Structure 1
Amino acid sequence: MSQQFDYIIVGGGSGGSVVAGRLSEDPNVSVCVLEAGGRGDSMVVKVPAGAVAMMPTKLNNWAFDTVPQAGLNGRVGYQPRGKALGGSSAINAMVYIRGHRSDYDHWASLGNSGWSYDDVLPYFRLSEHNERFDNAWHGRNGPLNVSDLRTDNPFQARYLEAARQAGLPITDDFNGAQQEGIGIYQVTQKQGERWSAARGYLHPHIGQRANLTVETHAQVRRILFEGKRAVGVEVLQNGTVRTLRVRREVVLAAGALQTPQLLMLSGVGPAQELASVGIQTVQHLPGVGRNLQDHPDFVFGYSTSSLDTLGVSLRGSVRMLSEILRFRSERRGMLTTNFAEGGGFLKTRPDLEAPDIQLHFVVALVDNHARRMHLGHGFSCHVCLLRPRSRGTVTLRSNDPLAAPVIDPAFFADPRDVEDMVAGFKITRGLMQTPALAKWAKRDLFTSHVKTDDDIRATLRQRTDTVYHPVGTCRMGQDDMAVVDAQLRVHGLEGLRIVDASIMPTLIGGNTNAPTIMIGEKAVDLIRGVSRVTPQVRAQAEAANAHATAAT
């Protein structure tokens, strides 16, 4: 490995893969990616159903725990995070969702110029190759492949019929003119295989571009500064600590939990907290590690005799043998599942501007993040609160760079979040009790005892946890608690930028992978100082937004 590069990117996840892939298109700049995990190209990653082996374990997964959550009866929560090239896009449910247009307009209203929906839509389109949609909202030439599911699972039709019976709207594009409704998710797959950010942006260029260096199993211990300028990083790889220097910028893309951790380990953060663990302050930024936001999520679960769901049984094992053969020959069937095949965005009150709850309908029984297994087959439905008011923190356990960060999502710290989830619980249970789904349910495993609102509150506190969308811990803004500006540059420092979900000022109303990839695409233009958004593309985005506004 060379000792000096134009750009050093810390983290090969969704944001890092995008920035590295795009910046290295210019042969005149040298780019180095440092990833603590592996290559993210094994079959357990490529085969979509392999997520069931990664999410509950440490396979390609940091598998962090939270501190005990007072709002969840003192339970310790779980925070899986991808540890491989592709980051969490290598282990997630591959759901392609951008959020609601009002989320980005809100970012802009907070003083973040250039981050409105009109501003970011072109970058979503630049990133995307959508196999079905080709219109003002979707792209056809991007590295990120987006497709319809290839499972051919009849539960998709049953789920949509249940929505009709419940009187809920149906939509075939959550990322188009309007988000509200029940539908089947599009996923980041290609020909039935997972299409992680690394597979789209990074893997094709490793060994092909002389100016791109990708180092795996390389954990950055700290950022090096000369005065207020980032000049390199200290990295641990194969038992050896090395120093790499940077000519232009260090780009942090370690994610909402580890980017603030690395900043604090490097002396950037709340000075008093840094001093308490023996770290000298380089830049006092009290907002580092604050403003942690995540979607609190509750899961309904039902046993079933249907072999159209994934489960553990002799009959199911026989069917799975045929499904393996089908995957090998057709790249279709059960092994292409993202588990969360159906979903929806709904309002708990009609006066809301945007949906405030999201559903994930799962063709398997989910209990404790798949860490608690049940014999037999089942199906599940998640309901999460899209814009919780509770705010948590990420802090240091010690000055040991190999120690896990201290993660406190503070779920239900604001009691209004509980009441919103009560409303979401009722809507979701109503959907699951429609004839189209009830006839397939043998037993309600988790909520059969729930009769009153107090029962719902107690059950929520007993079983709620994350749906894997932490953001906001290095938020963008201009006030004293902001960490980066609208150019994603760290306040008060030079040569240091952040490109991951930690920069989100507020949590978007949906899954966070596609927005993180968009952030990476926009960051590339910010770094280069040249926009790829032509007047024609911007006009298309504005027209799409005007059409969507009129539709709602």
Structure 2
Amino acid sequence: MSEVFDVVIVGGGTAGLALATRLSEDPSLQILVLEAGEDLTEDPRVSTPFLGSSLIRSSADWQFRTVPQIGLGNREITVPRGRLLGGCSALNNFLFAAPSKYNVNAWADLGNPGWDWSSFSDSLRRTYTLTKTSEEIQGNGPLEVSFPEDTEWLRVWKATLANLGYPTSLDSLSGEFYGAYLSAISIDHATKQRSYSGNAYLQRARPRPNLAVYTETHVEKVLFDGSKPTKATGVQYSQGGLIKIATARKEVVLSAGAINSPQILELSGIGDAELLKSLGINVIVDNKHVGENLQNHPTVGMCFEVVDQKGFETMDGILRGEAPAFAAVQADYEKQIGFGTKGNLEVAAQLPVPGIETPEGKQEIEKLLSNKGLRNDSEKTTEAFAKAHENFVSSVLISPTKPSATYLTIPGFATYAADGTIAGPPPGNEKYYSAIITLAYPLSRGSVHITSASPSPSPSPSPPSIDPKSLSHPLDVEILARHVHFLQAITATAPLANHIVPGGKRNPSAPPSPPSFPDLDAARRYVREWATGSHHFSGTCSMMARELGGVVDHRLRVYGCENLRVCDASIFPISVGASSVASVYALAEHAAEIIRSDLGLARA
């Protein structure tokens, strides 16, 4: 069974639906989107912010796991990935932050003209409409983005960081990051519902006769021209037990994400020839960098018991699953107020390496950077890219104003279990305040590869080998430990210190107070034992020159192939320093302009 379209997009997630929406604005193009998961756009678990976490470890989640991570004490870490229409944008934590200017410019410096901040920020602005108040609205993009209401916790957090010498007026959409801030969130200001690619972008395009979206379809491989074996002509997919073919007259675009897109390339014969031959796959393009350069932010959390005080409410009753607390959240949500209307991670800060503002601190970091023994490159990473990556991270670490970590705070007990799942508060009636610290630019690089020639899922599912090599680079441990150690200085500074119970309870794995960590060695041990990964995977189909280790060029075309592109976070050669979803939307807008131009079509 076969159907014919102009463009076939594999993956109806964050990027795929945004790209399909923009390309289908041209009525001359017939567009098909193939999504493995269900259409849950009417499911309240997707649209209602406080129900979103219930989708994790459900059928809407690929439920991947990493291989044992040596840098994390051989722990396996959960890898939630969206398996539904809208992808990860349908089950993420709502944070909507631009990438930094110097982050994006670093992509351009890797041989990618047209990907500098001035160009990419134009694409970002096309993604959203920001509503600050009903009178103050900026932009006209499909996504509804807003700011949650100010709280006493926000006031205390900003005042505490100001007392430590940091600015507190950061705009999370500006591309400039340094200090404390309130993050924008992808929640509709008027309805308090999640705004994501499924209900924001796609709802604009659904009525169009030139767009088809198939759900519960699993793409098995890209198909190639028999007479020109590197020219993509469509894809083979399974649906309802049947094997079908979608033919693409002009383009096949993989938008399946940093875990699934490299798998599809390998199943199609594009990847390391040695691996492909060992699995009996015919080699179309030999490129050992497919699936390599996997990056993810290592992250670690800590919880502090706080004084029960009016105006400083916490989510602990909700997180404990107490029925009265959940009923109260539902009642408040109907009034469009309270914890249920947001993700509750919005009170945040982006900070440089602690102490870097002093001559002694800078000298200490420079000494670390000069230690060549710190380098721990993958054997498949080119020396040129390893050096470029290292130079970029070094430029961040020695700067007193460039953040090397993000601090997300939560009014309640929220940290990670050993396998990376969220751990709720222990029984009792204590109140907590938590901080999760995420390393912005890890130097650790891993990989994701297929383990079988059979597409997964199949009658005998063969999950991919996901190995981010978390904390395999010693510098990642060192910098993250310094931020964890600095957290005790934050919590010991007024006014936040006035709200923390002296000698109070912590998460069970944390050292008792005071002090939390008597020295950096203690912080390093804590990081090794309890760090996990955030869910911002990137890099596995990197956009850079092929001689550097690239998989796609600056037009997102797969090297060695015709009519085949990749459009998702896998193309980011250096990870986005903060939450990556805004960057993925901007990527889709950027890609739509590129593809339209390459096809000789006018901008819609």
Give me the TM-score of the superposition, normalised by structure 1.
0.90
How do 1:356-435 and structure 2 match up within 5 A?
A: 356-366=404-414, 367-368=416-417, 369-374=420-425, 375-376=427-428, 377-402=431-456, 403-435=462-494
Question: C-alpha separation between the residues in 1 aligned to 2:523 and 2:179?
Answer: 24
1: CA distance, partners of 2:251 / 2:181: 42
Other-structure match for 2:388: none
Distance 2:70 2:97 in 1: 31
Equivalent position SS for 1:194: coil
Q: What's the C-alpha RMSD, in Å, of the aligned pairs?
A: 2.3
Kept after mapping to 2: 8 A contact 1:256/1:470: yes
Contact 1:53-1:59 at 8 Å conserved across structures: no
Aligned-pair CA distance for 1:284: 0.9
Does 1:169 find its partner at 2:167? yes
Whole-Å Cα distance in 2 between the matches of residues 531 and 411 of structure 1?
43
The answer on 1:484 being equivalent to 2:552 is: yes
Q: Once the 2 structures are TM-superposed, how far is the Cα of residue 139 of structure 1 from its aligned partner?
A: 5.4
In the alignment, which residue of structure 1 is the partner of 2:329? 323
- Cα gap change, 1:232/1:322 in structure 2, threshold over 3 Å: closer, same or farther? same
Question: 2: distance between equivalents of 1:532 and 1:437?
Answer: 55
> What residue in structure 1 maps to residue 390 of structure 2?
none
What is the alpha-carbon distance in structure 1 between the residues aligned to residue 55 and residue 153 of structure 2? 24
C-alpha distance in 1 between matches for 2:165 and 2:109:
35
Q: Structure 2: which amino acid aligns with 1:381?
A: A
Closer/same/farther in 2, CA of residues 444 and 165 from structure 1, 3 Å limit = farther
For residues 346-361 of structure 1, the aligned pairs below 5 Å read: 346-348=351-353, 349-350=356-357, 351-352=398-399, 354-361=402-409
Give yes or no for contact 1:126–1:521 (8 Å, CA) kept in 2. yes
Counterpart Cα distance in 1 of 2:344 and 2:63: 19
Q: CA deviation at 1:333?
A: 1.7
Q: Deviations over 1:228-284 (max 9, x none)?
A: 111111112222221111111111000011100111011110100111112111111
**1:309 Cα deviation (Å)?**
2.0
CA distance in 2, matches of 1:474, 1:315: 41
**Greater CA drift, 489-498 or 525-534:** 525-534
- Distance in 1 (CA, whole Å) between partners of 2:53 and 2:266 is 33
Q: Deviations over 1:100-150 (max 9, x none)?
A: 10011111111111001111111011112111399xxx9511111110115
Q: CA deviation at 1:409?
A: 0.6
Amino acid corresponding to residue 437 of structure 1 in structure 2: L
- Alpha-carbon separation, structure 1, partners of 2:133 and 2:284: 48
- Which of 151, 154, 165 pairs up with 2:152? 154
| In structure 2, C-alpha distance between the alignment counterparts of 1:533 and 1:183, rounded to whole Å | 36
Aligned-partner SS, 1:236: strand
* Residues in 1 aligned to 2:230 and 2:203: alpha-carbon distance in whole angstroms: 34
SS in 2 for 1:275: helix
Residue identity in the other structure for 1:116:
D
| Correspondence for 1:519 among 587, 592, 595 | 587
User: Which residue pairs with 2:389 in the alignment?
Assistant: none
Deviation, structure 1 residue 219: 1.1
Name the SS of the counterpart of 1:518 in structure 2. helix
Q: Quick one: distance in 2 between partners of 1:154 and 1:241? A: 57
Deviates more, 1:220-229 or 1:163-172: 163-172
Alpha-carbon spacing, 1:261–1:11, altered in 2? closer, same or farther (3 Å): same
Looking at structure 2, the residues matched to 109 and 399 of structure 1 have their Cα atoms a distance apart, in angstroms, of 36
Shift of residue 164 of structure 1? 2.8
Partner of 2:299: 297
Q: Distance in 2 between matches of 1:259 and 1:114?
A: 23
The residue number in structure 2 matching 1:458 is 525
Match of 1:277 among 276, 279, 284: 279
Deviations along 1:428-454, one digit per CA (max 9) or x if unpaired, are 332233343342454122322432211
Percent pairwise identity? 30
Output the CA distance in 2 between the equivalents of 1:342 and 1:386: 17
Equivalent AA in structure 2 for residue 443 of structure 1 = K
Matched ranges for 1:55-134 at <5 A: 55=56, 57-132=57-132
Q: CA deviation at 1:94?
A: 1.1
Give the CA deviation at 1:363.
2.6
Report the Cα offset of residue 222 of structure 1: 0.9
Following the alignment from structure 1 to structure 2, what is the Cα–Cα distance between the partners of residues 417 and 322? 41
5 Å-filtered alignment, 1:205-244, equals 205-206=205-206, 208-226=207-225, 227-244=229-246
How many angstroms apart in 2 are the aligned matches of 1:412 and 1:322?
A: 41
- Read off the aligned partner of 2:69 and give its amino acid letter: Q
The partner residue of 1:181 within 156, 179, 182 is 179
Alpha-carbon deviation of 1:411? 1.1
8 Å Cα contact 1:469/1:511 also seen in 2: yes
Deviates more, 1:426-435 or 1:232-241: 426-435
Count of residue pairs brought into register by the alignment: 527
1:59 offset after TM fit, Å?
Answer: 4.5
Gaps of 5+ in 1: 535-552
TM-score by length of 2: 0.83
